């Protein structure tokens, strides 16, 4: 179902940064560390290919249809110390249920493996694990953050 889908780093498509930032803000809200959408866009524009977070976009016929992120967290309530996370998985609504999210998740795991990252975590509001469970992620425990119950999951990179 993902025939014709190509992947690129968001840093290689800077003109798409406002679109991706809008998707994330519309879905999950403006990150608390920012006072404005413009400030958030500037943070994303300042990223480079060599650093995490790494934002991977999915494109079809020149149109961006989805995005996912590989990032580092330090001192998460459930996972102490430094850890690596899959986050920000978003697919444009008209492209959902076509395998884009699956392909993005698999590409992020591959990117982590290439960076010698051996374990990834994620958090989802889908308490049965949904897509991630089908992709081999293991439930770790439920976590309450910002009044929302989330499931923390883990996957060992191969």
pTM: 0.92
Return the exposure string of 125-143: e unless at least 16 CB atoms fall within 10 Å of the residue's CB, then b: eeeebeebeebebeeeeee
Taking only the tens place, the pLDDT of each residue in 53-104 is: 999 999 988 899 999 999 999 888 888 889 999 999 999 999 999 999 999 9
Dihedral (CA of 126, 127, 131, 136) sign:
positive
CATH architecture of 5-156: 3-Layer(aba) Sandwich (3.40)
Find the mean pLDDT for residues 8-15: 95
Give pLDDT, residue 3: 67
Q: What is the largest CA-CA distance in the chain?
A: 42
DSSP conformational letter for 36: S
Where is pLDDT greater, at 3 or 27? 27
Q: How far apart are CA 37 and CA 155, in angstroms?
A: 32
> Nearest 5 degrees, angle CA 88-CA 117-CA 91?
20
């Amino acid at each position: 179902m993902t025939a014709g889908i190509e992947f690129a780093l968001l840093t290689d498509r800077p003109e798409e940064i406002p679109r991706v930032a809008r998707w994330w803000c519309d879905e999950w809200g403006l990150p608390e560390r920012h006072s404005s959408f413009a400030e958030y866009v500037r943070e994303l524009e300042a990223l480079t290919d060599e650093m995490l977070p790494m934002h991977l976009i999915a494109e079809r016929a020149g149109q961006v249809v989805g995005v996912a992120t590989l990032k580092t967290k330090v001192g998460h309530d459930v996972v102490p110390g430094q850890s690596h996370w899959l986050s920000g998985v978003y697919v444009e609504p008209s492209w959902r249920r076509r395998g884009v999210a699956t392909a993005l998740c698999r590409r992020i795991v591959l990117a982590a493996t290439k960076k010698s990252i051996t374990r990834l975590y994620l958090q989802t509001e889908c308490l049965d694990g949904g897509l991630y469970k089908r992709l081999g992620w293991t439930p770790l425990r439920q976590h309450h953050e910002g009044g929302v119950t989330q499931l923390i999951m883990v996957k060992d990179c191969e």
